Amino acid sequence: MKKAEIKLNVGLDDNNVPETIHWSSTDGESAEALPAKAMFLALWDAQYKNSMRIDLWTKDMPYDEMKRFFYETIQTMADSFLRSSGGDPMAEKVIADLRDYCAHFADKMEVLENK
């Protein structure tokens, strides 16, 4: 079985607030750690049937970029759910609702105005 390792390195200030985030993957094109301003990591705990999450962002993450990050994350969650649903018609309806919400979020937060 092929394996890949994903590494996260978070630099913290004296109050444990993230100042830097870098990530790398053994399966990536570059061995160099790449910078990031924010991250959402969600894992499914099969034993306890719940999710475990880590949400971090650096002090210098601009609010307008955070809004865009949330918008794109919700959109990609819809994409992932669609791929995992196996063509379930109810899932497709719910995903359509989620995409409608994404459009509403983008409008209210003026996410796509700068594009």
Contact between 36 and 69 under an 8 Å Cβ cutoff? The reply is no
Q: 79 and 35 share a domain? A: no
What is the pTM for the complete model shown? 0.86
What is the spatial distance between Cα 101 and Cα 110, in angstroms, rounded to a whole number?
14
Q: Is residue 18 part of a domain?
A: yes
Rg, C-alpha atoms of the chain = 17
Cα 98 versus chain centre, distance: 16
Q: 55 and 66 share a domain? A: no
Among 60, 86, 102, the domain-final residue is 60
Q: Is residue 82 part of a domain?
A: yes
Q: 12 and 54 share a domain? A: yes
Contact between 6 and 23 under an 8 Å Cβ cutoff? The reply is yes
Q: 56 and 68 share a domain? A: no
Q: 34 and 46 share a domain? A: yes
Segment 6-43, tens digit of pLDDT: 999 999 999 999 999 999 999 877 778 999 999 999 99
Q: 27 and 46 share a domain? A: yes
Q: CA separation (Å) from 102 to 39, 82, 95, 112? A: 19, 15, 10, 11
Is residue 101's pLDDT more than 80? yes
Segment 42-90, tens digit of pLDDT: 999 999 999 999 999 999 999 999 999 999 999 999 999 999 999 899 9
Number of domains in the chain: 2
Domain hosting residue 76, numbered range: 62-110
